[in-house]
Amino acid sequence: MDYSLKQNFRASYYPLAKEHAVGATFFLVVLLLLISLIYSTLTWMWDEKRLPLSKIVLQGDLQYVSAQDVQQAFAKMDHIGTFMSQNVDDLQTKLQLVPWVASVSIRKQWPDTIKVFLTEHQATAIWNGIELLNDQGVIFNGDVGALREDKVKLYGPNDASELVLDTWRETSPKLAQLGLKITSVVLNDRRAWQFILDNGIRLEMGKDSLEERVDRFIQLYQKLGDEAQRVSYIDLRYDTGAAIGWFPEQELEESIDD
C-alpha cells in the first residue's frame, strides 16, 4: 500500500473507531446504570422494612373462623416475606389447617395487604363425639362445643363416615312419619347398626337387611301405641319379629312375632 493510501485509510478509520468506542462506552454505562437501577428496585421491593405485609382483610360468610384465627395461623409461620417475595400458596396451606376452614383463596393488594377469602365447612353431624362431618361426609376438625344448634351424633370407623351419614339420611324420613327423630347412629367394629331415637328407644338393627328391619320396626311401633313410652330397646336382629326390652319396673323382655 503506497503512502497516500495509508494516509487516506488512517484518516477514515481512526475517527470511525473512535466513534464506535465512544458509543460502546456509552452503551456500557447505560447498561450498568440499568442493572444498578433494577438491583436497587428489587432490593427495595424485597426489603421487609419497606414493603411488609402488615394488613389482613378477611372475607366470607363466616360463623366460626375469626380474624384472630387467621392472624394466629400466620404467626406460626417461620417467616413472612414482603409483598413481592411472599408465596401465596404457603399462606393458603397454613390456613387450610385452621379448624372449620373448607377452602381458602388469597390475593395480595399493593402495597401491604393480604386479602383472604374463606369458606367454612357446614357441619351436618358430630362424628365419634369429638369431630364433625360436613354434608359430603368429610371429617373435619372443629370445636363441637361451638356448634350453635343440635346435630345428630354419628359413630363408626373413619373410613365409613359417608356410609353412616347416608344411612342416617335415608332412614330419618321413614321414622319422621312416626313423629320420631334419630339422635344417634352407631356402626360398630362388627359393622352392626344401632339407632337411638329422641324418645329414648334404642334400636338394635344388626348387620344385614337394614331396610327391611326398619320397615319391621315401623309396623311394630304402630302396634305398640301408648305402650311405646315404656320401651327401653327393640332388638330387630331376627329373621322375623323382634325382642322388646321394657324399663325396669316392667317385664324386661318380651318376644313379639309379626
pLDDT score recorded for residue 253: 47
pLDDT score recorded for residue 87: 77
Extract long-range pairs of 178-186: CB within 8 Å, 24+ residues apart. Answer: 178/218, 178/221, 178/222, 180/221, 182/152, 183/152, 183/153, 184/152, 184/153, 184/154, 184/155, 185/152, 185/153, 185/154, 185/155, 185/156, 186/154, 186/155, 186/156
Of the options 2.40.110.10, 3.10.20.310, 3.30.565.10, 3.30.930.10, the CATH number for the domain spanning 55-120: 3.10.20.310
Amino acid at 227: E
pLDDT score recorded for residue 85: 66
Query: Residue 232 phi/psi, 5° resolution?
Result: -95, -50
Question: pTM here?
Answer: 0.74
Residue (of 115, 93, 104, 91) closest to 65 by Cα position: 104
**123-256 belongs to which CATH class?**
alpha beta
pLDDT score recorded for residue 18: 58
* pLDDT tens-digit series, residues 226-240: 899 999 999 999 988
What is the residue whose three cell numbers read 327401653? Answer: 232
pLDDT score recorded for residue 250: 47
pLDDT category, 43, cuts 50, 70, 90?
low
* pLDDT tens-digit series, residues 118-130: 999 999 999 999 9
pLDDT category, 48, cuts 50, 70, 90?
low
Hey, which of 19-28, 41-50, 182-191, 242-251 has the most confident mean pLDDT?
182-191
Asked if pLDDT for residue 45 goes beyond 90, the answer is no
pLDDT category, 150, cuts 50, 70, 90?
very high
pLDDT score recorded for residue 111: 76
